[in-house]
Chains A and B, each alone.
Chain A
Amino acid sequence: MGFFNEETLPMLEVYQQEMLSLEGELNQILAGTEMSRAFSIEDIHHVFRIVHTMKSSSAMMGMMELSHYAHKLEDLFQIYRNKEVLSSRETELAMELLYEFLEYVEGELLGIADDDFSPQDTAVQMAHLEEVMGVMGEKTEAAVELCVSLKKSCPMKAVRAFILINELKKCADIEKYTPDDLDDDLASDKITAEGLHLWVGAAKIEAVLEKIKKDNNVDQVQKVTKKAEKVPEPQKVQKPEKHQQESEKLGNAKFTNIKWENVSELSDCIGELLVAYSVFENERARLGNPKGLDQFGSAYLRIVKNLDQLTQSISMMAVTQIVPKLYRTVREVAKSEGKDIELHVQGEELEIDKKRLELLSKPLTHVLRNAVDHGIEMPQERIEKGKSPKGHIYFNIENDGSVLSVSVKDDGKGMDVNRILDKAEKKGLLKKQREVYTKAEILNFVLQPGFSTNDTANEFSGRGVGMDVVRDAMDEAGGSVTIKSVVDEGTTIVMKLPVTMTSVESIQFHIGTFECLLPIRQVLWVYTDADRERIVEKEEGRYFEFDHELLPVFSLKSKFGEETSKKERYYLILQGLKYKICLLTDDIVGETIAVEKPLPSILGTEYSRQTGISGLVLLGSGEIGYMLNADLLFRLYRREQRNAVTN
């Protein structure tokens, strides 16, 4: 028997579910706090209740480390409950501690079902917590308000104030300062008119005063005695309306726990019902479409489609679930790098399929870490470039019904294409003359595995660390990744992936003897041999003229190992996430509702890259059909073109 005994083992599943649900609630609170930069009194009570429940449940399961850890946090939030309001410094510390706690809980929950599970030590986290609680004790002393006047001749007063505050933070806690937004265009004017006000812990006031006086840009500094009793900032916080509505929604809604495996099985059952419908349609056609059967067929299909929609809605998760992790990533890397970075999140209210959300989580972490680590410059460097010392990263997620688009944009140093090209050349990655590479092609080199190494620390170094993870994840999902970058303006990484669906309206056709399919949403037009005049022969290949565009004509026959002497008669114009392509087929069988199954792992992603096949479809005839994907086909075409050039 492992860690759990016969008394606790039967409760493990319930415990896991409860902890996951509480973890989700804590994440929600943190996501709201990241936006408002403050805990409301309701939040403080809510966090207290969550850690209290975690403490009791963990103790019951014999998870004493976690229970003691939660207990200590409970003590801290008890203090906060009594205070009712937190200073910005206390808010920062509380968030830091909660992120640390969540990380520990996540780690424990990940391994809890393993036979060799044993709780992780909490000594480091507890020490941190105790240190913060010690500081809290000191904080009961009054904070001192200082008014700093900068010299009239001092240019860019807001930037100078930012540098001064960062310097002071090294020797003391600066609890608050005004103007609080030094990025604001009016910040310099405010400093000129009212001075820079700082609230400093009384214990370190002398050291702070000395440091301020030594600054060449400071004209004078004085204590503001009438306001020194208490830090004035804390006020009862009103959460943004959106967050409040979300909380209300959560409070009022009636939820129940559902096992994901059950949802997945339900989805499989619906897939089988749709396959059964294809069999029925086949039989109906074979029997000459007898009367009455068509009504039965359409009623059946309507019910199954409703079921499908309901199941999909159950599988949806709000993007907010991963938002705290994004904030945490940015916060941690920025802190270790000594950078000041703000993450702006848009579209977090969107709900997307759980599998998609899980798939996105890892690549997003890589992209954000790279943006903070290698994209955004150090504050001093930004100032020298005339930028605000604070860096900004914009995360945006959108769903247009069929495509999920996720972008991460930073206002950092951008990527230097010449250096990337040099590196690619050094690594032997160039397949043609370096002069003919387009900017997009050059930027794509960073998606190669291990492209960037740690031996260089420059404007593009590190961008490749893990970027192949992003490409692989998008490949797995039949999606794409695009990089745009301008030196000194920043980099944008856009990931696009199709929205998951149990059933796909598809067009069925033959390539040689193979039954193939494509989602109808990717097929723009079907032409036949009669439209041959649209074919344009060029030295580098054949093209099809469509809507004033020349699209590459692509045949899969020889790739599929089929006889090529009989030429294909149909031209399918396909629209991928980024490009269009013309695919040749032998015929068109018709339209069908297909249930796409993933390829077995023995074939995997590489097989998809080599064939353009994204999945398998069980046809009504009992045979297996091959689902193609426009993006995979375009990439396959490009790959062949590149190989042709190399050879």
Chain B
Amino acid sequence: MLLLIREHENTYGIDTTYICEIIYDHLKNRLPACPYGLVGMCNYKNQAIPVLSMSELTSLSGKAQEDRQKENMMLIVRVDEEKAAIEISALGEVVSTEGYKKIGQKYVVQSGQKVKISTVYEAEETILEIDLKATLENLKVR
């Protein structure tokens, strides 16, 4: 099952097994020397977790600022043992990928995009399934 999120004229899907909760208007703290791809930290149930922005992850460099202001929801996701929050502006539907045709395992990410895609599905619209683990790995400060 994928939760669909539409950003920058693309439809992205996040495997629902990663999602712990969806929260609204949650307080976010700025992060000193905030690395690109991260937009801050938040106190989620007494845990300090990093906050990512969907529009920033999927945008080409420098185009996300405006869209970020519309983001008032957070998807709390758990990858392995760590949690993270992803800010989004609107929720799409939850779909089953059963019967969808996989048209590629690897999606060529455009320059500047931080998101990593695991599978591309062909349905009424093309769905790009986000590889959350690889995306978080890609954001690691090195």
Residues of A bordering B, CB below 8 Å: 272, 275, 511, 513-514, 556, 559-561, 597, 600-604, 606-607, 610-611, 613, 616, 618, 622-624, 626
Residues of A within 8 A of B34 (CB): 561
B contacts, CB < 8 Å to A: 27, 29-30, 32-35, 38, 41-43, 46-50, 82, 84, 136, 139-142
Q: A602-B38, A602-B50, A603-B50 are in contact. Are A559 and B141 (CB under 8 A)?
A: no
CA distance A330 to B48 in the complex (A): 43
Nearest chain B CB to A369 CB, angstrom units: 28
A538 CB to closest chain B CB (Å) equals 27
User: Nearest-CB distance from B28 to chain A (Å)?
Assistant: 9
Assess whether B27 is in contact with A622, with CB atoms less than 8 Å apart: yes
Q: Are B43 and A602 in contact (CB under 8 A)?
A: no
Contact (Cβ within 8 A) A601 B48: no
- Say yes or no: A613 contacts B32, CB within 8 Å: yes
Query: Are B38's CB and A610's CB within 8 A?
Result: no
> How many contacts A-B (CB < 8 Å)?
63
Shortest distance between the CB of A636 and any CB in chain B (Å): 11
Picked from B32, B41, B82, B142, the residue with its CB within 8 Å of the CB of A561 is: B32
Q: Considering the chains assembled together, what is the distance between the CA atoms of A97 and B34 in angstroms? A: 54
Chain B, Cβ-Cβ closest to A556: B32
A602-B140, A610-B141, A616-B48 are known contacts; what are 6 more A-B pairs with Cβ within 8 Å?
A514-B30, A559-B33, A600-B82, A607-B35, A607-B141, A624-B41
Give Cα A610 to B43, complex, Å. 23
The answer for the CA separation of A608 and B84 in the assembled complex, in Å, is 19
| Closest Cβ–Cβ distance, residue B34 to chain A (whole Å) | 7
Q: Which among B84, B139, B140 has the greatest number of chain A C-beta atoms within 10 A?
A: B140
Q: CA separation between A602 and B114, bound complex, in Å?
A: 13
Please, which residues of chain A bring their CB within 8 A of the CB of B139?
602
Contact, CB under 8 Å: B140 / A561 = no
Residues of A within 8 A of B41 (CB): 616, 624
Query: Please, which residues of chain B bring their CB within 8 A of the CB of A513?
Result: 30
Distance in Å from the Cβ of B74 to the closest Cβ of chain A?
A: 15
Among candidates A272, A556, A559, A602, residue contacting B84 with C-beta atoms closer than 8 Å: A602
| C-alpha gap A600/B51 in the complex (Å) | 11
Q: How far is the CB of A593 from chain B (nearest CB, A)?
A: 15
Q: Do B29 and A604 have beta carbons less than 8 Å apart? A: no
Q: Which residue of A lies closest to B27 (CB)?
A: A622
Top 4 A-B pairs ranked by shortest CB distance?
Answer: A560-B32, A616-B48, A607-B141, A624-B29
The minimal Cβ–Cβ distance linking B62 to chain A, given in whole angstroms, is 17
Inter-chain contacts of B35 with A (CB < 8 A): 603, 607
Chain B residues, Cβ within 8 Å of A618:
43, 46, 48
Which of chain A's residues have a CB closer than 8 A to the CB of B82?
A: 600-602
Contacts of B48 in A (CB 8 A): 597, 600, 616, 618, 624
A139 to B45, CA, bound (A): 68
Q: Is the beta-carbon distance between B29 and A623 smaller than 8 angstroms?
A: yes
A–B pairs, 15, beta carbons within 8 Å: A513-B30, A559-B33, A600-B84, A602-B38, A602-B82, A603-B35, A603-B38, A603-B50, A604-B141, A606-B142, A607-B35, A610-B141, A618-B48, A622-B43, A624-B48
